[in-house]
Structure 1
Amino acid sequence: MTEIRFFAPFEVAVEVGEGVPVALTEQRKASWKLIGPGIVVAATGVGAGDMVATLIAGERFGYTLLWATIVGCLVKIALAEATGRWHLATERTIFDGWSSLGRWTHFYFGPYIVVWGFLYGATAMSASALPLAALFPVLPLWAWAMLCGVAGLVFVWFNQYAVFEKAMTVLIGLMFVTVVGLAVFVTPDIVATVKGLVPLLPQGSAVYTLGLIGGVGGTITMAAYGYWVNAKGWRDATWMRMMRWDNRVAYGMTGIFVIAMLIVGAELLYATNIALSEGDRGLLDLAGVLEERFGRVISVVFLIGFFAAAFSSILGVWHGVSLMFADFVGHLRGRVNRPVEERERSWEFRGYLLWLTFPPMLLLLFDRPFQLVIIYGVLGAFFMPFLALTLLWLLNSDRVPREWRNGIVSNVGLAVAGLLFIVLCAHEIWGYVQGG
């Protein structure tokens, strides 16, 4: 007897009959109660920088680029689903997949994760410190930043995934309620919102559009999604349906969050011609606008949401990227596919935690070395196209059981994502060349 099953995010019909593996016919039921890894990856990926980018898009173009935020969420759903599908279908990690493509992946990933961690550590600590310094001006910014880094280190060092997931859920709840509540409070223009769903490119908006599609919620932590899926206890293809449901719900929430930020930018800034500072400090400018318009209470509520967004990125990176580093070093030492619980206790995991926390503190006291910023920018710009195109390669190969390989729509989605990130990569590198 023949039955048709559908598999998301970009769902492909598969004919199920005799001889089809058990993985296809005994899928576990998707449940709201089990959602978690997607919440973690979404909370980690959307940080203070993404909030500013979306606000500035709203400030400069109003609701016109709303459609780009939705396309961006679809791109992230495709990438995260592909990462999770690799982990569940093969029961191997994404780094194991990269290693199978050749040692050139090690030569890229090794320098990248070391330099990225050094500079990202300072960036994340500074972003988390900004709202705390505004709320409690009893310590200088650098002191708050160091405290945030150490707090993230201590939490991740002494807790494993289950507690970590609960903390991330609380933080994304704060982010979501604060920012969406603020968007409702400022009363969005419904007609303009609907018009923003029509794809248009105002003059001078191309770079912002690409940034919204490719940037919001898109970092190395997307590759960590598979590790969090495994840490949840989802270890084989019977969890595929649950993983896809988890991924869609999480990035659906991300989409609502980003749309809310765009609404705030459009209503508070675009309509009144108020310009924000570049970088994370733009959120402090917004807090000032909110206090002037609506009073101190609304400003404080926003700063709490700002802190939740920034600190969730610290916790997520400290945990997820440390797992990836532990897997990378494990491959170099011939210890592949260790259980997540073992990686969380390994010296590689804890060593990278220390690397993320203490060396970057030097950058909090001094200006960043220009050469390191260039290396960070160039290596970082290559990561998202690297992720998209290697997933396209891996998921069309015989490394994956046939029933879980890409279908046409998945291939188109990953190819479009790869091309988009190549364009963004070229733009980023060109910006560094011109800046140099």
Structure 2
Amino acid sequence: MDTTNSPSSTDTDDEPRWKIVGPGLLVAATGVGAADLIATLIAGSRYGYTLLWCAILGCIMKIVLVEGAGRWTLATGHTIFEGWSSLGRWTHWYFGPYIVIWGFVYGSAAMAGTGLALAALLGGLSVAWWGILSALLGLTLVWFGHYGLFEKVITAMVALMFVSMVTAAAIAVPNVPDLLRGLVPTIPDGSVVYLLSVAGGVGGTITVAAYGYWLREKGWNTPRFMRVMRIDNRMAYVITGIFVSATLIVGAELFHAADIAVSTGDQGMVDVAEVLRDRYGDIYGTLFLVGFWAAAMSSLLGVWHGVSLMFADFATELRGLPGDHPDAQAGGRYFRAYLLWLTFPPITIIFWGEPVWLILAYGVLGAVFMPFMAVTLLWLLNTSRVPDRWRNRWWTNVALALIALAFAALAVTEIQKAVSGVL
């Protein structure tokens, strides 16, 4: 849906629409990691198709948020962090600790996800060592590669993710009447936590804000690309919606119908592969594990590239340097410094455990990010910082306000989980 008046369709009529899918697919693929898939699988295993509507709602919410981030970048020529800075120094005090702590903890989680997938697929090494090798591979690709290569690699991984999960859903034979009933909003008893997790987990947290940086890397940097950006964003989340719906179908048919529990954590993905192997043969279990690895690795690569760009922008903004300064670009010293931060310090968590205070800070700061994103977009896109043509319309403001409230509710839940998990 367009949230403002659209420019002429001639911006995109000269090329097929599939060719303009790029940054949106990166943001969607990066945001859908192993943790989101597990949450959706568990929801499907416990409630069948009842929360399918919630997965679709989550995609719609992310379309609105990502479109807002992209519209800000194209309409103003400024990054999202430059926009936050214009709201006051308080944004620095929140975002600075968040991006540093988040990167440290996420780096370990990304290694665990990729490592578990490769250990289940190939064996030979421990989960930790496969994860470390995955992180080093991501570091090498992002350090020496260029945006075009990065986009092609992520697109290939999305194809693997999509084929594996949709195949798993197809061979599980969805119950169509139940599936259709799942499109009607219903909240079963005790499902609120899962409802919020499914809706909130479709497409990431901090990686949503990376969209504008990837638009710049793609060369889409003026209002002329507004229509292209919107098509890119919608198509990416349609693909994501199908993928997440397929994940819920797998949970509903393979686990809920058979009354089998899904393990929490990344191990749940291995459970699915084992059930597929037992019922349908090794080829399907292996294909699913390949898709699991692709989901985990695409998230790792997306964070290594996109969040490093955000950190570079943050660091140069603090120094008062312009947004086009070399230090703010991919390959600059701050970009590479954050790459190293994502790759090497988190190894300590793998081998020596997770500091309680760090996990608490990670949970609290991370839970607040999506409400922060929604509220600041409401603020920025209704002011003179944005040309009138590209400001929010009333329906966009309503949508962003509802999204802010929904993610605030999710934040309360996540903070409670983080606190209870360390006490």
Q: Deviations over 1:286-310 (max 9, x none)?
A: 1111111112111111000000000
**What letter is aligned with 2:74?**
L
Q: Which residue of 2 aligns with 1:29?
A: 12
Tell me if structure 1 keeps the 8 A contact 2:142–2:304. yes
Tell me if structure 1 keeps the 8 A contact 2:112–2:127. yes
**Out of 69, 77, 84, which is 1:91 matched to?**
77
Cα distance between partner residues in 1 of 2:336 and 2:152: 21
Q: Which residue of 1 aligns with 2:419?
A: 433
Instruction: Give 5+ residue unaligned stretches, structure 1.
Output: 1-8, 15-23
Cα distance between partner residues in 2 of 1:144 and 1:384: 31
Other structure's SS at 1:223 match: helix
Q: Which residue of 1 aligns with 2:405?
A: 419
Shift of 1:412: 1.0
Q: Which residue of 1 aligns with 2:383?
A: 397
Shift of 1:107: 0.6
Q: Deviations over 1:265-306 (max 9, x none)?
A: 000000011101111111111111111111211111100000
**What letter is aligned with 2:11?**
R
Cα distance between partner residues in 2 of 1:273 and 1:128: 28
Cα distance between partner residues in 2 of 1:305 and 1:284: 11
Q: Does 1:11 align with 2:6?
A: no
Q: Does 1:130 align with 2:116?
A: yes
**Out of 350, 356, 362, which is 1:364 matched to?**
350
Q: Which residue of 2 aligns with 1:53?
A: 39
Q: Which residue of 2 aligns with 1:270?
A: 256
Tell me if structure 2 keeps the 8 A contact 1:65–1:201. yes
Cα distance between partner residues in 1 of 2:50 and 2:2: 26
**What letter is aligned with 1:313?**
S
CA RMSD of aligned residues (A): 1.4
Cα distance between partner residues in 2 of 1:143 and 1:81: 38
**What letter is aligned with 1:11?**
T
Q: Which residue of 1 aligns with 2:219?
A: 233
Shift of 1:257: 0.2
Q: Which residue of 1 aligns with 2:199?
A: 213
Taking structure 1 as the reference length, what is the TM-score of the superposition?
0.94
Other structure's SS at 1:201 match: coil
Q: Which residue of 2 aligns with 1:17?
A: none
Other structure's SS at 2:329 match: helix
Q: Deviations over 1:101-155 (max 9, x none)?
A: 0011001101000000000000001100111101121111111111001000000
Q: Closer, same or farther in 2 for the Cα pair 1:259/1:302, shift >3 Å?
A: same
Tell me if structure 1 keeps the 8 A contact 2:32–2:203. yes
- 1:183-198 residue pairs with structure 2 within 5 A? 183-198=169-184
Q: Aligned residues: percent identity?
A: 54
Q: Which residue of 1 aligns with 2:134?
A: 148
Q: Deviations over 1:218-250 (max 9, x none)?
A: 210000001101111001101000000000000
Q: Closer, same or farther in 2 for the Cα pair 1:268/1:26, shift >3 Å?
A: closer
Tell me if structure 1 keeps the 8 A contact 2:52–2:182. yes
Q: Which residue of 2 aligns with 1:19?
A: none
Tell me if structure 2 keeps the 8 A contact 1:126–1:145. yes
Q: Closer, same or farther in 2 for the Cα pair 1:155/1:312, shift >3 Å?
A: same
- 1:31-430 residue pairs with structure 2 within 5 A? 31-338=17-324, 343-430=329-416
Cα distance between partner residues in 2 of 1:130 and 1:340: 37
Moved over 4 A (4+): 24-27, 339-342
* More displaced stretch, 269-278 vs 283-292: 283-292
Q: Deviations over 1:251-274 (max 9, x none)?
A: 000000000000000000000111
**What letter is aligned with 1:56?**
I
Shift of 1:336: 2.4
**What letter is aligned with 2:120?**
A
**What letter is aligned with 1:284?**
V
Shift of 1:367: 1.6
**What letter is aligned with 1:406?**
N
Tell me if structure 1 keeps the 8 A contact 2:197–2:410. yes
Cα distance between partner residues in 2 of 1:190 and 1:26: 37
Give the number of aligned pairs: 419
Q: Closer, same or farther in 2 for the Cα pair 1:11/1:320, shift >3 Å?
A: same
Other structure's SS at 2:187 match: coil
**What letter is aligned with 2:133?**
L
Cα distance between partner residues in 1 of 2:81 and 2:200: 22
Instruction: Give 5+ residue unaligned stretches, structure 2.
Output: none
Shift of 1:433: 3.0
Shift of 1:184: 1.0
Q: Deviations over 1:3-37 (max 9, x none)?
A: xxxxxx343458xxxxxxxxx45861263212100
Q: Closer, same or farther in 2 for the Cα pair 1:301/1:341, shift >3 Å?
A: farther
Tell me if structure 2 keeps the 8 A contact 1:231–1:340. no
Cα distance between partner residues in 1 of 2:361 and 2:212: 27
Other structure's SS at 1:338 match: coil
Cα distance between partner residues in 2 of 1:432 and 1:235: 39
Tell me if structure 1 keeps the 8 A contact 2:51–2:185. yes
